[in-house]
Chain A
Amino acid sequence: NAGVTQTPKFQVLKTGQSMTLQCAQDMNHNSMYWYRQDPGMGLRLIYYSASEGTTDKGEVPNGYNVSRLNKREFSLRLESAAPSQTSVYFCASSKAVLGQVGGYTFGSGTRLTVV
């Protein structure tokens, strides 16, 4: 049971570089999410995808783009990295069927440092 798999686990970027964080889930979940975790801030939602083919902004979308490639995969792209994007990024998925309350399943995170 792989659950939610994120790659890479660690990354160092220079300011202005671009990169894509990959996320895949094998639980046939409808919804997928990208969060960032910063000290003292908890987790903040960047983007989410309620179903294949749809994406929506969360609380802190600026500087990011996402692609829901298919039901399994949801990627997060930084077009021009900035030091303020230094953070730990978590991907999550859920069934998200109306009327059913379930938790999220999280990946193990990507620790990104922008210098």
Chain B
Amino acid sequence: GNSVTQMEGPVTLSEEAFLTINCTYTATGYPSLFWYVQYPGEGLQLLLKATKADDKGSNKGFEATYRKETTSFHLEKGSVQVSDSAVYFCALMNYGGSQGNLIFGKGTKLSVKP
């Protein structure tokens, strides 16, 4: 079946440090891949997405590249800020018929210290 595995947190970094959050997936066919972010007390927001192999999604300084050969979609940011503290979810969508449902990883909590 389809599944997403993320690195376990929490991850604690100092401001301006480099961030990597690992995400690998298992899926049949060619899923679309997503990163969502959840700030404290809020719902999830779409951060970036990629729909085919070698696509790079980017937003707010975050990037992730769809690697089919390694079934990975790692999230990176060159210089994190305190405001990036949140929980990050990797997700995939595999279309079956006319319906595609998002399947989420368990989330990785990031804390950035000043």
Contact = CB atoms under 8 A, between A and B. Distances in A.
Interface string A22-40: 0000000001010000001
Q: DSSP majority for the B interface?
A: strand
Chain B interface residue number, banded? 20 to 34
B89 A43 contact: yes
A103 B46 contact: yes
B99 A50 contact: yes
A86 to B, nearest CB: 17
A44 B105 CA distance: 10
Contacts of B46: 103-105
Interface of A: 4, 31, 33, 40-45, 48, 50, 56, 58, 90, 92, 96, 98, 101, 103-109
Of all A-B residue pairs in the complex, the 7 with the closest CB atoms, nearest first, are A103-B46, A106-B43, A42-B106, A43-B104, A106-B44, A42-B104, A50-B99
